[in-house]
Amino acid sequence: MATSSQTQTAFRDPAFLANRDIPIHRWVPWIAGFSQQFIEDALSTYTKGLYGAVLDPFAGVGTTLVEADLAGHSAVGFEINPYAAFAAQLKLSAYRLPVKALRSVIDDLSNHALTAEANGTMPTSIPPPGFRTRSPFYSPEVERKVLLLMDFVSRQTDTQIVDALRLAFAATMVEYSNYSYEPSLGRRTAVGRAEIKDHPVALCVARKLTHMLEDAQWYRQHRVRGDRPDGRVHVQSFFDSYKQIEAQSIDLIVTSPPYANNYHYNRNTRPHLYWLGFCDAPEDLKQLEEQNFGTYWQRARELQHVALDPIITDLDITHTLDKIRCQNTDRGIYGGEGWANYITTYLNDCVRFMAGVKWCLRPGATALVVIGNSIVQGVHVPTDRFLAKIALYHDLEIVGIHTPRPTRVGNSITNSSVRRGTAGRTKLYESVVEIRQP
Ligand SMILES: C[S@@+](CC[C@H](N)C(=O)[O-])C[C@H]1O[C@@H](n2cnc3c(N)ncnc32)[C@H](O)[C@@H]1O
C-alpha cells in the first residue's frame, strides 16, 4: 500500500484544458473536467481489452462516460447539476443526432435569425424572471438577440434539435455576457474587461452547432459496438442513489469529486440553470448546495459543531481538524471553527462515497479517484491520503496514490501561505487515488 508517499505515474495530466479541440469533449467548457487522454489511459490500462460497465459517480459534463461509451463499454453516471447532466446525456446520444435536419436548422439560424437580428425585430420570449445578477447579465442589444434565439428554438418541433440548440446556446452564453470565469463567474468589469454591448449571437450559436454536427458524424463512425443502448446519467446524488446500481456489477470507476475548496459549481452555472429552465428561484439552488459533496462551505461553517463520522478514528485526520479549529478563533464562523465544520462535512461525505464504491465495484475491479489537496486556514489537508484511509475502513484496498499534476493553481486556499505568495513547502497538487475491491 502506498498511502504515505506519492508516486509519479504513467497517467497523463487529468486537467480539462486539453479537451478544447477534441470532438464531443469540445462541446461544453467545464472548469473542473477531466482530460480525454487521462480517461483513455485509464480505460486501456484497467479494462484490458474487455467490454464492461464503467461508472462515474460525479459525472460533470460526462468526460469519463463519453470515452467509455465510445470504447464500447456501458457507461453510467450520477450528477446533481441538471445543466451538466443535460450536457453529458446529450453528448452520449450524439451519434443519434439527425444530421440532415440539423444542417438545415443551422442554415435557417444563420439566415432568418440573422435577418431578425439586423432589422430590429422585437422578440416574444422573455428572460427567466427569477434570474438576478448584480449588474445586467446581457446588454439590451445582446439580450434582444438571445431572446430572438429563444423564439427560434420555440419554433422547432424535433426534440433532439431543440436540445442541440439549447446546449449550443448554453455552451456559448457566457461568451457574449457581461460576466466571465476567473475561474469563478464574476463581472467582466471587476477584472478590468470591457462590457459586451453587442455580439452576433445567432452566428455564434450556429458555429457551435456546426461543430456539434461534425462531431455527431465522427461519433457515429468511432463508436465501438454501435448497437448498444446509450450511456445513462442519473440526475441524482450518488450518495442517495448508488444502490440503484446492481451490487458488485461495475468493472471500473473513474471519477473526480468536488475538491475541498470553495468552487461553487451551482452558483457558477446559475445563468445556464435559469436560462435553460432547470431552476426558477434561489430555493432550487439551495437544494443542490445541500446535496453537493461536502455541501458548500458557506453552509457548513454556519452549523454548530459538525461531528466526524465515528468510523474515522485516524489520528492524523483528527489532529488536522483540531489544528484547523484552533486557527483564527476570534473570527467566529469565518475562522477555524467554521472551516473545520466544512472539512468535517467533506470527510463525512468521503465516507459515504467510499460506501458507494464498495457497493458498486466487482471483486478485483478498480476505482480511480482524482482529487486535489487543500490548504485551509494555513493548514494542509491532504484529501488524497485521507480518502485512502477512509477507503480502508470500508475494506477496500489502496493500490497507490499517483501524482500526475504535482502543482496546480486553485481557489482551495484560505488564509494560506500559498495565497499570500509566501508559499512554504506545501503546494497544491492533484492525485489519482487507485482503489481496488478485494
Ligand atoms: C470535479 S466535477 C467532475 C467533472 C467531470 N470529471 C468532467 O470531466 O466533467 C464534480 C462534479 O460532481 C458533481 N456533484 C457534486 N456532488 C454530487 C453528488 N452528491 N452526487 C453526484 N454528483 C455530484 C458536481 O455537480 C460536479 O459536476
How does pLDDT run across 192-207, given as a tens digit for each residue?
999 999 999 999 999 9
Ligand 1 touching residue 345 (CB < 6 A): no
For residues 96-103, give the mean pLDDT: 96
Ligand 1 atom at shortest distance from the alpha carbon of 84: 27
DSSP run (H or E) holding 254: strand 250-255
In this model, does residue 139 exceed pLDDT 70? Answer: yes
Q: Which of 80, 270, 357, 369 is the pocket-test mutation for ligand 1 (most atoms within 8 Å of CB)? A: 80
Q: What is the predicted pLDDT for the residue at 32?
A: 66
Rounded to the nearest whole angstrom, what is the distance from the C-alpha of residue 428 to the centroid of ligand 1?
20
Ligand 1 atom at shortest distance from the alpha carbon of 293: 16
Ligand 1 touching residue 61 (CB < 6 A): yes
Ligand 1 atom at shortest distance from the alpha carbon of 239: 19
Q: What pairs with residue 433 in β-bridges?
A: 369, 401
CATH of range 16-93+230-433; options 3.40.50.150, 1.10.3720.10, 3.40.50.1980, 3.40.50.300 = 3.40.50.150
pTM above 0.75, yes or no: yes
76 Cβ contact list (under 8 Å, min separation 6):
53, 54, 55, 56, 65, 231, 232, 233, 234, 245
In this model, does residue 410 exceed pLDDT 60? Answer: no
Q: What is the predicted pLDDT for the residue at 425?
A: 61
In this model, does residue 16 exceed pLDDT 60? Answer: no
Rounded to the nearest whole angstrom, what is the distance from the C-alpha of residue 58 to the centroid of ligand 1?
4
- Say which residue, 400 or 34, is predicted with more confidence: 400
Contact 370, 430 (CB under 8 A): yes
Ligand 1 touching residue 268 (CB < 6 A): no
Between the CA of residue 377 and those of 8, 306, 322, 398, 418, what are the distances in Å? 28, 17, 12, 29, 11
Tell me which residue has its CA closest to atom 15 in ligand 1. Answer: 292
Residue 99 and residue 272: Cα distance in Å, rounded?
A: 25
Q: Where in the chain is the domain with CATH 3.40.50.150?
A: 16-93+230-433
Ligand 1 touching residue 261 (CB < 6 A): no
Rounded to the nearest whole angstrom, what is the distance from the C-alpha of residue 282 to the centroid of ligand 1?
20
Inter-helix orientation angle 82-92/63-70, to 10° = 10
Q: What is the predicted pLDDT for the residue at 17?
A: 60
Q: What is the predicted pLDDT for the residue at 65?
A: 97
Rounded to the nearest whole angstrom, what is the distance from the C-alpha of residue 259 to the centroid of ligand 1?
10
Q: What is the predicted pLDDT for the residue at 4?
A: 33
Q: Which tens digits make up the pLDDT trace of 155-174? A: 999 999 999 999 999 999 99
Tell me which residue has its CA closest to atom 25 in ligand 1. Answer: 81
Contact 151, 125 (CB under 8 A): yes
Ligand 1 touching residue 288 (CB < 6 A): no
SS3 357: helix
Ligand 1 touching residue 27 (CB < 6 A): no
In this model, does residue 9 exceed pLDDT 60? Answer: no
Rounded to the nearest whole angstrom, what is the distance from the C-alpha of residue 90 to the centroid of ligand 1?
17
The chain-wide mean pLDDT, for the chain, equals 90
C-alpha grid cell, residue 303: 452549523
In the block, cell 452549523 appears at: 303
In this model, does residue 50 exceed pLDDT 50? Answer: yes
Q: What is the predicted pLDDT for the residue at 182?
A: 84
Ligand 1 touching residue 242 (CB < 6 A): no
Q: What is the DSSP letter of 7?
A: B
2 Cβ contact list (under 8 Å, min separation 6):
398, 399, 400, 401
Task: Kindly report the backbone phi and psi dihedral angles of residue 24, in degrees, each rounded to the nearest multiple of 5, phi listed first.
Answer: 70, -55
